[in-house]
Structure 1
Amino acid sequence: MTQMTGGCACGAKRFTAEVGDEQAYLCHCRMCQRASGNVSLAMVVLPTKTIRWDGEPDWYRSSAIAERPFCARCGTSLGFRYLDTPEKMDLTVASFDDPSRFTPHTHFGAESMWRAWINTEGLPEIRSEEHAALQARWEKAGTTAD
């Protein structure tokens, strides 16, 4: 088991999780699409007892069967939990401080998959530091990107 940390964009909701060899997945179901405002959501399922929160997240009842932790201050989506299995929950991969440990092993909710967004290999790739207008915005704000 590896201890990993993560949290929301503003830092108000932080967590530490014990992570073993759990496999991450991409969820394409409409509930996750709507909750995240995206075409899919990268998640990893963990035992709830291995997650410690520093700043209890806010919870949103996203359906009759599930709820989602999030930060009401910055809006970051932090995960998903079925109401009938509180002993485990999914955390969003991108909310980990170092999400590079995870790779997707399966697709879920494939009936709502937008295939054009799955294989984007070959599209032009622009690095943030190469985007002059973005860098100018950071300079004007007197700071740099994280």
Structure 2
Amino acid sequence: MAETARSGGCQCGAVRFRAEKLGRPSICHCRMCQKQFGNFFGAFVTADQAHLTWTRGQPSLFRSSAKVKRGFCGKCGTPLAYLHPGGVELAIGAFDQPELLEPQVQVNVDKRLPWIDHLFEKPAHSSPEMEAFFASVESYQHPDHDTAEWPPKDA
């Protein structure tokens, strides 16, 4: 387990966490994870509950099965956690530095979408119009670091 404390939270900043003693990062292909993330799979890292602190707010919970609850921000909807009888896992994308948590295993591979292995063989697309649009976007998203308060009082 990684001993380094890592922080993260939702897109709007209403829910933030700090976690130490993280376990193995993974991706899950089950249909419930696909639905939770609205994506092709869910990416998680196991967290030691004794070393997990919700530093701002608390996730809202949805009981997705008799054994599992899914944690998310009740304000912006960001997926945050997967709570199961064995413990808790945190969404890798919710961490301030997700690039440090490369998945090591895949689970529920029998539910993997049939084209996922070829996804990154697709051509990359960009255009001057797309680049100009994205350069013009002013983000209201919480920054990827802890803040004393959010949103800023002058916002």
Give TM class, smaller chain: 0.7 to 0.9
CA distance in structure 2 between the partners assigned to 1:134 and 1:145 by the alignment: 19
CA distance in structure 2 between the partners assigned to 1:10 and 1:71 by the alignment: 8
Runs of 4+ that moved beyond 2 A:
118-127, 130-139, 143-146
1:13-52 matches, within 5 Å, as 13-20=15-22, 22-52=23-53
CA distance in structure 2 between the partners assigned to 1:46 and 1:119 by the alignment: 31
Q: 2:132 aligns with which of 124, 132, 135?
A: 135
CA distance in structure 1 between the partners assigned to 2:134 and 2:105 by the alignment: 38
**1:145–1:53 CA distance, 2 compared to 1 (3 A):** closer
1:59-138 matches, within 5 Å, as 59-82=61-84, 84-85=85-86, 88-126=87-125, 132-133=129-130, 135-136=132-133
CA distance in structure 1 between the partners assigned to 2:128 and 2:51 by the alignment: 40
Q: Gapped runs of 5+ residues in structure 1?
A: none
Instruction: Provide TM-score, normalisation by structure 2.
Output: 0.78
Cα deviation 1:79-123 (Å, max 9, x = unaligned): 1011x33xx200010000100111111111112101412343332
1:25 alignment partner, SS class? strand
Instruction: Provide TM-score, normalisation by structure 1.
Output: 0.82
Q: Give the share of equivalent positions with the same residue, in percent.
A: 30
Aligned-residue offset at 1:145? 8.4
User: Is contact 1:43–1:91 with CA below 8 Å preserved after alignment?
Assistant: yes
CA distance in structure 1 between the partners assigned to 2:128 and 2:140 by the alignment: 12
1:4 aligns with 2:6: yes
Task: Say how many residue pairs are matched.
Answer: 138
CA distance in structure 2 between the partners assigned to 1:144 and 1:80 by the alignment: 27
Q: Gapped runs of 5+ residues in structure 2?
A: 142-155
Q: CA RMSD in A?
A: 2.2
Alignment-mate amino acid for residue 49 of structure 2 = T
CA distance in structure 2 between the partners assigned to 1:37 and 1:131 by the alignment: 28
